[in-house]
Amino acid sequence: MIHTLAMGFTTFLNQIPLIDLGSDDTLTVFWHTGGKGSILLVRYHERKMITNAVEVEFPPSIKANVGLHSSSHELKHQKHHPIESRAEIDRGGSKSMEWPIKDGEMAGISHRMVPVNGINLHVAEKGDGPDVVLLLHGFPELCYSWRHQIAALSALGYHAVAPDLRGFGDSDVPADPSAYTMFHVVGDLVALIESLGQDKVFVVGHDWGAMVAWCLCMFRPDKVRALVNMSVAFRPRIPGLKPVEALRAAFGDDYYICAFQKNDKYSPEKGRIAIAYLLFMEPGRTEAEFARLSTSLVIKKFLTYHDPGPAIVPKENGFGTAPEQDVALPSWLSEEDINYYASKFEKSGFTGGLNYYRALDLNWELTAPWTGVQIKVPVKFIVGDQDLAFHFPGVQDYIHNGGFKRDVPLLEALVVMEGVGHFINQEKPQEISNLIIEFFKKF
């Protein structure tokens, strides 16, 4: 039996059919019973129908909520609707969400909770101008990572809005990795945008926030005026190359030995990258490794990483750090900053953020109808030349030799910052704020 999904559900299935891709792009989703849940994604583009069937193991709560069905006639003539805003705004905020720095440029940053798509997002914001800038953080970060940009943007009349993405900080942390698909996260943001009373916003993304921003532009370009993305370039979906399966096929179940492969095709550098990614994808393993260390030490290890080479996480000794070991901080990062990050990750845990990695294969499956789709919003891309993401195999060739411009035809500016690492918006806050403002002033 084929069921259409009701518009009001706040479950995994219900986030997907609410995607509307614009005047000639729509997406609907059907689900049928029996064994595993099976999703049929149907994307309509230029009067052509592109379909993709995906099997997913759904929680019982989702199966119980599927109740509407329609005939073939109804399916054929079903009207497609955009994501509708169901966000209610709590403007009260909470002292527990306030940032440790409350004076100077940080004065006046307010906090509130916004219910969206069945979860609550914590939002930090400043400014009351008509132009909204949505700032999307990465891992292991929080909306706090945008503290400098919030101050700079609001000072020039922008309304700067930075959420803790689902799974982070004071936002809700769904336990199931399947609740971290790009459909879920983009659905959260569209509801947030509409709760702000906006049709379109400026968007800035970094790390996982950049990947989310690319998907927002791919699914809902009608919601984005212009985009500044950092560190993680857009990479098109490659049919037949599932991310995690590709890594396991290349490096084997005992993937840590890939660091010692003599075959040129699988260099030690690639092996170490695989180690880092696959370690993140094994449920519970990374959490156990982080638990061995203090939360503040984990945060320090990540945020101070400033090496163009891959992050080495050997299978035999994890992060290779003793719990009592300390890490020297760069000038742009204070103990107060670390303590704030640590306090939030001690409360929420790291699983929410790690689930973004664990949903990589599921995202690959679900985005099959978008294979070959271009990003068609104005874009500026910024990356540090010491960023490990910039040195991932094939990235520089893609960025500099035409692939990036082919897939992002409205790419207007590419900035490679000399001597700058991965956490670029914190390492060079003033320079990044200026680059963002310089671009958005054009629109």
Residue partners of 441: CB distance under 8 A and separation at least 6: none
Residue 1 pLDDT: 22
Q: How is residue 241 written in tokens? A: 């190359």
Give the number of other CB atoms < 10 A from CB of residue 421: 24
**Domains of the chain, earliest start first:** 2-76 (no CATH), 95-236+374-440 (3.40.50.1820), 243-358 (no CATH)
Catalytic residue among 164, 170, 207, 407: 207
Residue partners of 412: CB distance under 8 A and separation at least 6: 378, 379, 380, 439
Q: CA–CA separation, 11 vs 366, rounded Å?
A: 16
Rounded to 10 deg, the angle between the 208-219 and 182-195 helix axes is: 80
Chunk the chain into consecutive blocks of 10 residues (it has 443) and report each block's average pLDDT, rounded to whole numbers: 27 36 44 41 52 44 24 28 35 56 72 94 96 98 98 97 98 91 93 94 98 96 97 92 64 30 36 47 71 88 82 55 75 96 95 88 88 96 95 90 97 98 97 98 97
Give the number of other CB atoms < 10 A from CB of residue 313: 21
Q: Within the chain, how many helices (H) and strands (E) appear?
A: 17, 12
Question: Quick one: which H or E segment has residue 383?
Answer: strand 379-384
**Residue 305 bears catalytic tag:** no
Cα separation of the two ends of the chain: 48
Query: DSSP string covering 368-395, please?
Result: GGGTT----S-EEEEEETT-GGGGSTTH
Q: CA–CA separation, 130 vs 158, rounded Å?
A: 7
**Residue 357 bears catalytic tag:** yes
Residue 196 pLDDT: 96
Is residue 3 helix, strand or coil?
Answer: strand
Q: How is residue 187 written in tokens? A: 């659905």
Give the number of other CB atoms < 10 A from CB of residue 208: 24
- Write the CA distances from 277 to 33, 141, 379, integer angstroms: 33, 17, 27
Q: CA–CA separation, 310 vs 271, rounded Å?
A: 9
Catalytic residue among 158, 180, 357, 398: 357
Question: How are beta strands 48-56 and 37-45 bridged, if at all?
Answer: antiparallel
**Residue 207 bears catalytic tag:** yes
Candidates 31, 30, 58; CA nearest to 42 is 30
Residue 92 pLDDT: 42
